[in-house]
């Protein structure tokens, strides 16, 4: 059993708590709060980490999902704040090396913050058995979070400059060193020189925004045209085919016709298949326990949609979240099979288009649940590996990243955790698309039985949404393997998945986030510094 002590228990209820094993894989466990002690019983042997939503210390603010390092079981409890600080410091040092930033001058503000974090953590270790232990641990955690976010933003600026100047492209085309005996060694050498994992893409990432087919007017079209390099058009099965065999294409047609014929903007369509709640028509649930029939129904739906829009769509997000195993009781083999079928159909019917699969809940905490659904789900990294093993030809891996919503997988995390998560997916050596990225402009209350949403730095507000957008998108734009970034919604809508998540109010008034995204796009299209950091 792992035990974590909270000496001065704050007024909060631990949520989003789960255990994490090696390779950042969430593992099944039972976690309970007993007095001021968190007790964790996992179902596998070996060291493990605790990830938990935690009130950020004074000076940082917000409520973040943080984690400890991998720890062995022991009788004596660990001090939670100290272990959270330990992991943040470890991540700082790891990323300093991976991002090739060790030569940063010691006088640079980011290095000063790093030294302050190391000093605060060292002090916390020294006094951990004294009366000032908890205060020192909280101070170390605050300093480590602040330094980590500063380092992530600093790395984004450095990589943006290298990408903009063409330095990264030259590194990608540089001959392998003679000392490299294999292709893998040559690739690792390039990654070390570039300070980045994954592929190195030419040019700068494109910025887009998702539209709601139910909302269409000239003001929305103008807003999209001013901020977007492409239009993301959702294709929810439940909206397109509410009744079996009867499609409602008109709302989607309007946006695609405007994007292609009037705005001359590429269209990224989909996901065509998404089993998330609210995305599946009621009639499809009839076949939940008859996979062969469900597969046939899915095939007909994908064929109908791709055939209709194959002359106008540039990129297909062909499926989303099949690895999570939500709503439909399909096995992981069937999830992989459905992915293969969807990609194959899109390739056959629209060979000129780009095809990507979308990863939802990219931190993969859903695999830690003690449920039948979790047992049949696939961790995101393993899902990507399985697709590579069967030789599935995709052009990019798309990530759905939403924070601040009281739903599974959408808790708020700090900036360096987001940056590190992107680096993990870069290891698949495919371009990465941020197909959905977003946060609310006002706090979203959690319904009974749902996890709390958390917040970044301060409670969510229009200004806080804009600040989060600027920083999170700047980090993504600084990654040489990121090919595109799409905000989740152009206008607030009553859709339950992302309330208050638009760039415009329901009345069409712009929020501060609209100007922030516009500035980010301008900085990517020009030669100036990266906006938002």
Crossing angle, helix 109-126 and helix 80-98, to 10 degrees? 140
Q: Specify the pLDDT at position 36.
A: 86
Average pLDDT rounded to a whole number, residues 293-300: 95
* Helix or strand run (H / E) with residue 66: strand 62-67
Q: What is the DSSP letter of 274?
A: E
Calculate ∠ Cα 486-501-10, nearest 5°.
115
- pLDDT, tens digit, 9 for 90 and up, residues 162-173: 888 888 777 766
Distance CA 212, CA 491 (A): 8
pLDDT number for residue 177: 59
Indicate the pLDDT class of residue 496, thresholds 50, 70 and 90.
low
Write the pLDDT tens digit of every residue in 378-434: 999 999 999 999 999 999 999 999 999 998 899 999 999 999 999 999 999 999 999
Orientation angle between helical segments 133-165 and 109-126, nearest 10 degrees: 150
Give the dihedral sign, CA 171/437/228/533: negative
Q: Taking a C-beta distance cutoff of 8 angstroms, is the pair 415, 478 a contact?
A: no
Q: What is the mean pLDDT of residues 359-370?
A: 89
How confident is the prediction for the chain on average, in pLDDT? 90
pLDDT digits (tens, 9 = 90+) for 470-482: 999 999 999 999 9
**30 vs 181, more confident:** 30
Tokens of 313: 């769509």
For residue 366, the SS3 value is helix
Residue 252: count of CB within 10 angstroms of its CB: 25
Beta strands in 188-250 (DSSP E): 206-210, 230-233
- The answer on pLDDT for 498 being more than 70 is yes
**Higher pLDDT, residue 160 or 375:** 160
Give the chain's end-to-end CA distance (angstroms, integer): 42
pLDDT band for 141, please (50, 70, 90 cuts).
very high
Q: What is the CB-side half-sphere exposure of residue 323 using CA atoms within 13 A?
A: 24
How is the chain split into domains, by residue range? 2-159, 197-525
Provide the token pair at 516.
Answer: 């922030």
Strands 267-269 and 273-274: unpaired
Place of tokens 């001359």: 264
Least confident of 28-32, 123-127, 418-422, 444-448: 444-448
Q: How many residues does the chain have?
A: 533
Is residue 175 very low, low, confident or very high in pLDDT (cuts 50, 70, 90)?
Answer: low
Tell me what the mean pLDDT of segment 458-469 comes to.
97
pLDDT of residue 531: 66
Mean pLDDT of 71-91: 95
Please name the residue that has the structure tokens 């239009």: 231
CATH class of 197-525: alpha beta
C-alpha angle 270/274/278, rounded to 5°?
A: 105
Residues 6+ apart with CB under 8 A from 178: none
Q: Is the pLDDT of residue 134 over 80?
A: yes
Model confidence at 122: pLDDT above 90: yes
Residues in CB range of 405: below 8 A, 6 or more apart: 439, 440, 444, 453, 497, 498, 499
Residue 448 neighbours by CB under 8 Å, 6+ apart: none
Return the pLDDT at 301: 97
| pLDDT score recorded for residue 369 | 79
Per-residue pLDDT of 185-212, as tens digits, reads 555 666 666 667 788 898 899 999 999 9
């Amino acid at each position: 059993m792992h035990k974590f002590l909270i000496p001065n228990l704050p007024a909060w209820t631990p949520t989003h708590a789960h255990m994490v094993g090696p390779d950042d894989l969430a593992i099944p466990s039972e976690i309970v709060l007993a007095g001021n002690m968190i007790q964790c019983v996992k179902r596998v042997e070996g060291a493990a980490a605790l990830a938990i939503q935690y009130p950020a210390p004074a000076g940082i603010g917000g409520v973040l999902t943080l984690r400890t390092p991998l720890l062995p079981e022991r009788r004596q409890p660990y001090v939670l704040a100290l272990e959270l600080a330990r992991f943040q410091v470890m991540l700082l040092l790891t990323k300093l090396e991976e991002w090739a930033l060790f030569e940063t001058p010691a006088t640079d503000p980011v290095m000063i913050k790093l030294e302050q974090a190391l000093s605060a953590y060292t002090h916390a270790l020294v006094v951990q058995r004294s009366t000032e232990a908890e205060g020192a641990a909280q101070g170390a955690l605050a300093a480590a979070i602040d330094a980590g976010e500063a380092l992530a933003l600093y790395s984004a600026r450095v990589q943006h400059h290298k990408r903009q100047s063409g330095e990264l492209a030259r590194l990608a085309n540089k001959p392998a060193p003679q000392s490299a005996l294999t292709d893998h060694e040559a690739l690792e050498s390039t990654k070390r020189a570039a300070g980045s994992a994954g592929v190195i893409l030419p040019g700068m990432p494109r910025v887009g925004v998702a539209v709601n087919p139910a909302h269409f007017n000239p003001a929305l079209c103008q807003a999209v045209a001013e901020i977007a390099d492409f239009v993301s058009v959702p294709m929810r099965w439940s909206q397109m085919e509410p009744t079996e065999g009867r499609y409602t294409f008109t709302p989607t047609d309007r946006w695609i016709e405007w994007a292609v014929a009037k705005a001359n903007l590429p269209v990224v369509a989909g996901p065509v298949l998404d089993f998330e709640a609210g995305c599946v028509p009621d009639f499809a649930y009839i076949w939940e326990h008859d996979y062969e029939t469900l597969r046939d129904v899915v095939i007909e739906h994908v064929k109908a949609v791709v055939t209709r829009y194959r002359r106008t769509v540039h990129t297909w997000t062909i499926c989303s979240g099949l690895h999570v195993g939500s709503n439909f009781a399909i096995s992981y083999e069937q999830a992989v099979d459905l992915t293969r079928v969807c990609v194959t159909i899109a390739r056959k019917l629209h060979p000129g288009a780009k095809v990507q699969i979308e990863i939802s809940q990219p931190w993969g905490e859903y695999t830690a649940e003690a449920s039948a659904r979790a047992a049949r789900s696939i961790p995101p990294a393993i899902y990507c590996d399985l697709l590579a093993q069967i030789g599935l030809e995709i052009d990019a891996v798309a990530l759905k990243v939403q924070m601040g919503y009281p739903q599974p997988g959408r808790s708020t995390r700090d900036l360096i955790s987001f940056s590190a998560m992107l680096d993990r997916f870069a290891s698949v050596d495919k371009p990465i698309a941020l197909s959905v990225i977003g946060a609310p402009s006002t706090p979203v209350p959690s319904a009974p039985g749902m996890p709390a949403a958390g917040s970044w730095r301060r409670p969510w507000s229009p200004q806080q949404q804009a600040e989060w957008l600027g920083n999170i998108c700047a980090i993504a734009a600084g990654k040489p393997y990121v090919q595109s970034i799409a905000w989740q919604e152009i206008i607030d809508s009553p859709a339950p998945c992302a309330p208050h998540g638009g760039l415009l109010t329901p009345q069409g008034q712009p929020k501060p986030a609209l100007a922030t995204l516009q500035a980010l796009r301008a900085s990517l299209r020009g030669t100036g510094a990266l906006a938002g950091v």
